Structure 1
């Protein structure tokens, strides 16, 4: 079965009628982007852009302001914009993207980004391992907003959970309380031309479960590389 990622290029988002989460709307002329876990990101330039979600933001061991999103959203070197802050311009650059674990590391410009510990109902104050089956986790994506669901299965590498997600939620944080446990990667079952398996209504449980990558595993991989993002801690 082909796994299709939760990614929303601008043209697809318009065609599907997807809308952004209205939190943290920027005032006209606002050149400072306030970003936290769940904020919408636009990755790319011109007509070649994708809309994904910020997992978390904080500082690495070298004091750089960094964040994470799904690896399939952009390759290294891709410019990053805050979706709700177009007047801020380019606020960061993807420094690394890993296809196997599906994560990307973004280095943000501290002159144009205000990092947020809490955003749209989600607070990220630390990390925790993936929870066992039948736990309830919550997530916060730029398309679907805040939603919670049961964990069907988990391992140290990732988990499968039932919270409402759709395209553009790639990279969204998965949390228990204020602890980050994972980041959204892909639906278990992809939409087809005639059948939609992604979530259209938070009150409708009949949608595809979602695959999330364990954030502890992502951190370990980044730490091993000793590059941008190594030693990451949230704000």
Structure 2
């Protein structure tokens, strides 16, 4: 699944971050019970690598998490990238192509959920940030990075933090509040021109499009399925 992001960049070409084999930037986990939180690396269907947005419980008491929708279709098995010997620890249950999110149901007996990963703590939710705010994000490839918000809407926003392939789904935070999830880099023309980010200290790179997490939660709550009533750890 891949959203077109017509709500933010109608004149731009947007291509979602694909799978990556780059080493992750996150803490090690116990293979018997992987530790997962916002920014942890996940493997979908045995090959596609993306990042976890957040983890917690829904209204029915299920342990659930979120990632970018283009990472996997419903029914896809999920593994922890840092703990491959743990095997399948969850499955994608739902998703939305336009908003580019997916809902994962985890096996609570096989996962140790945490609220802090690699400098990113998620204590609650916030509305989409305003233009000019500085937000931070955490992905399995690029790790923790911060940047200014260029444009914003209630559905999503564009920001300048460093991201690369495999960071899709990673959390975007303002303080300790989750405000969005990494969706895609912004390409500037129909030739897919993009300035890659290879150094988090270098601000010259293509901006990133993020989906507002409040909008994701509202859509999931309206569906009244897995993930409805979600609260982070």
Looking at structure 2, the residues matched to 19 and 196 of structure 1 have their Cα atoms a distance apart, in angstroms, of: 22
Match status 1:51 vs 2:49:
yes
In the TM superposition, 1:36-115 aligns within 5 A as 36-45=37-46, 49-115=47-113
Contact 1:37 1:122 (C-alpha < 8 Å) held by counterparts: yes
Match status 1:3 vs 2:14: yes
User: Runs in 1 of length 4+ with deviation above 6 angstroms?
Assistant: 190-195
Judge conservation of contact 1:43–1:80 (CA < 8 Å) in 2: yes
2:93·2:105 contact (CA, 8 Å) conserved in 1?
A: yes
Residue 142 of structure 1 deviates from its aligned partner by 0.3
Q: What residue is the counterpart of 1:219 in the other structure?
A: 217
Per-residue CA deviations over 1:10-42 (Å, capped at 9, x if unaligned) read: xxx34xxx2211x22135xx2101000000000
**Paired residue secondary structure (2:70):** helix
Deviation at 1:177, TM superposition (A): 0.8
Q: Is the 8 A contact 1:92 1:107 kept in 2?
A: yes
Determine if contact 1:191/1:198 at 8 Å carries over to the other structure. no
1:24 aligned residue (18, 23, 27): 27
Unaligned 5+ residue runs, structure 1? none
How far residue 3 of structure 1 moved from its aligned partner, in angstroms, is: 1.3
* C-alpha contact (below 8 Å) 1:2/1:190 kept by paired residues: yes
CA distance in 2, matches of 1:226, 1:198: 39
TM-aligned CA deviation for residue 210 of structure 1: 0.4
1:198: how far off? 2.3
Counterpart Cα distance in 1 of 2:80 and 2:188: 27
TM-score, normalised on structure 1? 0.90
Which residue of the partner structure matches residue 7 of structure 2?
Answer: none
Q: Distance in 1 between matches of 2:230 and 2:192?
A: 42
Contact 2:119 2:144 in 1 (8 A): yes
The answer as to whether partners of 2:51 and 2:139 remain within 8 angstroms in 1 is yes
Deviation (angstroms), 1:194:
10
In the alignment, the residues of structure 2 paired with residue 7 and residue 225 of structure 1 have an alpha-carbon distance, to the nearest angstrom, of 27
Alpha-carbon displacement from aligned partner over 1:59-94 (angstroms, at most 9, x marks no partner): 000000000000000000000000001111101000
Please tell me whether the aligned partners of residues 190 and 197 of structure 1 are also in contact (alpha carbons under 8 angstroms): no
State how far apart, in whole Å, the 2-side matches of 1:193 and 1:85 are. Answer: 38
1:33-63 deviation line (CA, Å, top 9, x unaligned): 1000000000003xxx210000000000000
- Would the aligned equivalents of 2:187 and 2:194 in 1 still touch at CA under 8 Å? no
Query: Aligned partners of 1:191, 1:127: CA distance in 2, in Å?
Result: 33
Q: RMSD across aligned C-alpha pairs, in angstroms?
A: 1.8
Task: Quote the Cα distance in structure 2 between the aligned partners of 1:190 and 1:39.
Answer: 29
